[in-house]
Amino acid sequence: MLFCFWIGVQLNCLKEGNMHEKEPLVFKNARIITPMRVIDNGVLIVSDGKVSNVGSEDKIKIPENAKVIDAAGKYLAPGFIDIHLHGGGGADTMDATEEAMEKISVAHAKGGATSIVPTTTSAPMDDIIKAVKVIELAKKRTLPGAQVLGAHIEGPYFSMEQRGAQNPEFLKEPKPEEYLKLLDEYDCILRVSAAPELEGGLELGRELRRREIVASIAHTNAAYQDILAAVEAGYTHVTHMYSGMSGLMRINAYRISGVIESTLLLDELTTEVIADGHHLPPSLMKLIIKVKSLDKVSVITDAISAAGLGPGKYSIGGLNAIVEANVAKEFEIPEEEGNYVAKLLTRDSFAGSVATIDRCVRNMIKLVGLSIQDAVKMATINPAKVIGLDEKKGSLAEGKDADILILDEDVNVIMTIVGGRIVYRK
């Protein structure tokens, strides 16, 4: 008798579980942002964690058993993909704990990130390995907020002259006996940032290309000829444009192009901008987009642990940083409430940003003058292409993962959906 009762409950649970999974989720009355346009009166259907149908209301039949969410005329956008961030919500990737990963995941989901690529920083290799191990575990789990796509290794193979907020104590040249161990052991590595002009930098680029890992030019003092060799070796992307890189040099009366000019010139290279509204003034963001074209530039936060928290003193990669209100109004950066900036204590270098990616998208509209669909591209399909996941993510199209945002007119995040699951509601 008891046994029968137990079986009955189990069957019921099973049935309910199944029904719940099968029940489609429908968004209606939405302005749907695609890479080409905005569809008014749009409907989007999610089945089994994927987008199964998307289009205008008059062309799509809403299934009877669906759970319907009325977007009330607001925007429906693909989830944002942040391919360069260190932390958030008080946690850092280098904390190397599952709890830290969850805090980062939750903090950035509030800002509309549905996918994140946690980024390590220059440190002893053992510490980097610990962090990558946790990223690998996180990638295989369902996190409470944004999903982890893989790891970005930022450092320690950087130029001392262009270290920025990377700890100089740990910078070194890339040696295969060191990095091969890391690459062999962990499949989750999506991207490695390095200075290609260092001894061993080109060999590293070739190794990354063999493994289909994105090789990204970063914290580099290279000249044009070095960059040509880097592209030939396999480097395809340039980390945080204008930060930690050489510009025009003058040697014995001759002008030599640096990494900035090389990136602007070479169509082979994609790049990314820290669009927190502090790192780059609007004129530079406009220049990058004008020369590179909209398709080759992604927005990133490069966020530190203090992202989503208030002003105060924090530690990043063992260096002390201060988060404070913007004090550089004279440099065409408008003051905006809550838009804090993170600097080293000396205040001569930024220490990453405290933004979530919604602010970056908002800035592309407010400061650069882009349309909402162009600004959204820079946080969705463009970064998806950089890391080779554009077949699954980056736009609201049939068959793609149901990573979806409801946004208001000012790109404030109303709801974040990851793989068909609501993970944040304002």
**Residue 27 or residue 158: which is nearer to Zn ion going by CB?**
158
Query: How many Å apart are CA 80 and CA 77, to the nearest integer?
Result: 8
Asked if residue 342 lies in contact with residue 354, where contact means CB atoms within 8 angstroms, the answer is: yes
Instruction: State the burial class of residue 46 (Cβ atoms within 10 Å of its Cβ: 0-12, 13-18, 19+).
Output: buried
> In whole angstroms, what is the distance from residue 296 CA to residue 267 CA?
9
Closest to Zn ion by CB, 207 vs 302, is 302
Nearer to Zn ion, 272 or 358 (CB): 272
Chain mean position to CA 46 = 24
Q: How far is the CB of 88 from Zn ion (least distance, A)?
A: 13
Separation between Cα atoms, residue 195 and residue 230, nearest integer Å = 9
State how far the Cα of 182 lies from the Cα of 175, in Å rounded to an integer: 11
Pick the closer one to Zn ion by CB: 225 or 320: 320
Nearest approach, Cβ of 302 to Zn ion (angstroms)? 4
DSSP 62: P
Q: Which is nearer to Zn ion, 154 or 197 (CB)?
A: 154
Q: Which residues in 389-424 are b (16+ Cβ under 10 Å) and which e? A: bbeebbbbeeebbbbbbbbeeebebbbbbbbbeebb
Q: Which is nearer to Zn ion, 120 or 395 (CB)?
A: 120
Phi/psi region, residue 242 (left: phi>0; alpha: psi -120 to 50; beta: rest), is left
Minimal distance in Å, beta carbon 303 to Zn ion? Answer: 9
User: Which residue's Cβ has the minimum distance to Zn ion?
Assistant: 302
Q: In terms of CB distance, is 92 or 207 closer to Zn ion?
A: 92
- How is 259-272 classified by DSSP, letter by letter? HHHHHHH-TT-EEE
- Is 302 annotated as catalytic? yes
The torsion region of residue 352 among left (phi > 0), alpha (psi -120 to 50) and beta comes to left
396: DSSP letter: -
- By C-beta, is 82 or 154 nearer to Zn ion? 154
- Per the CB < 8 A criterion, the answer to whether 402 and 26 are in contact is no
Q: Give the three-class secondary structure for 341.
A: strand
**Active-site pick, 92, 276, 302, 401:** 302
346-367: string of b/e by CB count within 10 Å (b at 16+)?
eeebbbbbbbbbbbbbbbbbbb
Q: How far is the CB of 210 from Zn ion (least distance, A)?
A: 25
Least distance to Zn ion from the beta carbon of 205, Å?
19
Q: Locate 223 and state its tokens.
A: 């000249």
Chain residues in the site for Zn ion (CB under 5 A): 154, 302
Nearest CA among 289, 251, 281 for reference residue 371: 289
CB of 264 to Zn ion, least distance (A): 21
CA 2 vs. chain centroid, Å, equals: 53
Residues marked active site are found at 302
